[in-house]
Structures are given as structure tokens and as C-alpha cells.
Amino acid sequence: MRKNIDVKKQEILIGVTAGIAAYKTADLVSRLVQSGYGVSVMMTREADALMGRRIFQALTGRMVAVEMFSRTGEAIPHIESGRKADLFCIAPATANILGKAAHGIADDLLSTTVLAFDGPILWVPAMNVQMWKNAAVQRNLSQLRADGHQILGPESGYLACGETGMGRMVSPETIFQTIERFFSSQESL
């Protein structure tokens, strides 16, 4: 049963990249929808190939944006999607999307929408421990923080590659609680 929120229904745009942790994002989206948030999902093509948009369409009851120039009815999807959202959360955030955002690269729908979004952005990184420790990734994270973006995680644990270390995406519950605190206080993430 969907919980009704007394205040204006908050809209959240979830960006999904091609990290194996995307299965956790499905859990996050389900929690958000069940709590009464309006949730739209945008995926990279690679995430769509890995996970499939139909899962997120079923969870949200909305079409999932993947292509820059789709026939969804939105004239300019990377602008329109961002205008509707009160918060943009990218989970999992791979090293690739973090690098694109930190350097202003807009070569697909998700990275273009990040540049066009004029609100709070929450990045939830997930990647191999060696990638996480890479100096370029750390520079990109520092740049995003300097630009006013929020980073949540990662945490240490068992990774999909079989290694153990920093790079594991935080739990859907932790992301959900962070979003709840943001909307309840309207302070920074």
C-alpha cells in the first residue's frame, strides 16, 4: 500500500549506470514509490542492457528514459526530466559517469541531464576497489564535491569482482534514509 505524503509530492529522478549494483537501485526505487514519492528513472544504454528498463517501468509505472532523442513526447528529454525533479540521485554511479560529470562531458542522455539539472545531486558510487582508489576517480569526486554535489558512500565489503574492499554501493535503506532526511529538513544532503 502506498503511503500518502501530506505535503506536495516530491519528484525524484534516479539515474542508473551499468554497475552490477544496479539491482540495489531497483530496491531503492521500490521503497521510494511505496513511500509516496514520484520517481522517474533514466538509464544509460549499458545499464539498460545489463538490467533492463522494464523492471524500473514496472516499479514506477512510468516510462524509463534511455535514448537522447526518444519518442516519449518530451521535446528535450534532458531538460524536461530535470525540470520535473526536486532531487537527482545517480545510483550506482560508476567511475565513468563521475568522470563525465566532473569534466562537463555530455555524450548520452544521463550525462547531459546531469549538466542541465539545476537542483541537488546525490551520487552513490559503486566500483572495483582499485578503480575507487585510482587518483583520477578521487580527483573527480573532489571536483564534484567542490561543485556542490553530494557523495554517499561507498562502503567496504565483498565486491562483484570477487575482491573485498572499498567500492561497494551503500544499501538501499541508507540511500532512502538520506533522501528522507533531505526532504524532511530541506537542507543539503
CA–CA distance, 143 with 161 (Å, rounded to integer): 27
Closest among 159, 152, 149 to 175, alpha carbons compared: 152
Which residue is associated with the grid cell 567496504?
A: 156
List residues bridging with 158 in a β-sheet: 164
Q: Which of 1, 59, 57, 54 is nearest to 30 (CA)?
A: 59
Q: Kindly indicate the confidence band of residue 4, based on its pLDDT and cuts at 50, 70 and 90.
A: very low
Among 161, 174, 183, 189, which one carries the catalytic annotation? 161
Across the range 47-65, mean pLDDT stands at: 93
Catalytic, 89? Answer no
Residue in 170, 19, 161, 180 with CA at minimum distance from that of residue 87 = 180
Confidence category of residue 112, pLDDT binned at 50, 70, 90: very high
Is it the case that residue 25 has pLDDT exceeding 50?
yes
Query: CB–CB of 167/159 below 8 Å?
Result: yes
Instruction: Report the 10 Å Cβ neighbour count for 179.
Output: 22
pLDDT confidence of residue 3? 35
Q: Are 149 and 123 in contact (CB under 8 A)?
A: yes
Handedness of CA 149, 116, 178, 182 (dihedral sign): positive
- What pLDDT, in 10s, does the model give residues 159-177? 888 888 899 999 999 999 9
**What does pLDDT average to over the chain?**
88
Placement of cell 564535491 in the chain: 145
CB 96 within 8 A of CB 128: no
- Rounded-to-integer distance, Cα 128 and Cα 168, Å: 8
pTM of the model: 0.89
Residues 6+ apart with CB under 8 A from 144: 98, 101, 102, 123, 151
Cβ pair 41, 64 in contact under 8 A: yes
Q: Picking from 56-60, 82-86, 139-143, 164-168, which range would have the lowest pLDDT averaged per residue?
A: 82-86
Quick: pLDDT tens for 27-55.
999 999 999 999 999 999 999 999 889 99
C-alpha cell at 71: 519518442
